[in-house]
Amino acid sequence: MYQADEHRYDTMLYRNLGTSGLKVSAIALGFWHNFGDTTPLSNQKKLVFDAFDRGITYFDLANNYGPEPGAAEKNFGKIFHDHLTSYRDEMVISSKAGYTMWPGPYGDWGSRKYLIASLDQSLKRMGLDYVDIFYHHRPDPNTPMEETARALDQIVRDGKALYVGISNYSADQTKQMAALLKDLGTPFIVHQPRYNMFDRWIEDGLTDVLEDEGVGAVVFSPLAQGRLTDRYLHGIPEDSRANRSDSPFLSKDRVEPTIRIAQQLNEVAQQRGQSLAQMALAWNLRQKAVSSVIVGASRTAQLDDNIQALQHLDFTAAELANIDRILNGAEFK
């Protein structure tokens, strides 16, 4: 029977989500990859146990994570109920809805019907009474934002989520949603955007909105799908995702223009005594609005390496200027 490490809270950093009272681990474990039915459950258990033993309390899921859609929640639910039920109050478990989950007009986007039905399904797959955070996964251009906001509010009032968040919303959309949820009295505390050295869009207004509204950011893809690790420093390995024709998020065309930039960034990281991945995570966490970064892992060694980023989060002005110089000269910009 799994017994959590008694020193699990000794070295992890915890940050409040915005101005809320909810603290999350600065490193979060994401279930986007490596938790579907194509990954042995034994490996998934090792990752979850190692994460919790190292003080990671935030576990990030969504209805469509797999493969197949729903598999990550199902597998997490099995691990949770077999080993972690006594630790439920030490965990922040989130889910999302907003992308295609089932056929027909009611299995996608942001309608009241879809959001409430999807969360009911997610809770059933995980065997939970509630999630700590429920996100609307992307804005819906065809549903009034008021309807989405009222659905999120109803979910909290029904006790199915403690807090709500949004993901992939622009700065203006975030401001609109914040106003709607404030009027409803809904605990809106978090935005989950993509953010990394190669994709800094949140700096063009979103971080200002988040700080103004007292909302924290939990960012995904902080390592740019592996491009900000040592995985591609010397080219594209034969067994990498970027070398597969079926990968929707990574390809040779996306990796090749960034290799030289990553090599230069790696030189800065080495001078700091860090791996490139560790520096990339620390760079994300330097941002005042960022409360946590979501990392994916296929091996516990990757997770342990990422957590070591917390040992050196500070940057000198010269280091930041050098990083900006490297990024501003990037060919892919």
Note the pLDDT tens digit of each residue in 67-121: 999 999 999 999 999 999 999 999 999 999 999 999 999 999 999 999 999 999 9
Positions in the chain short of pLDDT 50: 245, 332-333
pLDDT at 332: 45
pLDDT at 257: 81
Contact 115, 97 (CB under 8 A): yes
pLDDT at 13: 98
Contact 5, 55 (CB under 8 A): no
pLDDT at 236: 66
pLDDT at 329: 83
Q: Report if pTM > 0.85.
A: yes
pLDDT at 258: 86
Distance between CA atoms of 134 and 115, rounded to whole angstroms?
10
pLDDT at 235: 67
The domains of the chain, with CATH numbers, are 14-227+287-299 (3.20.20.100)
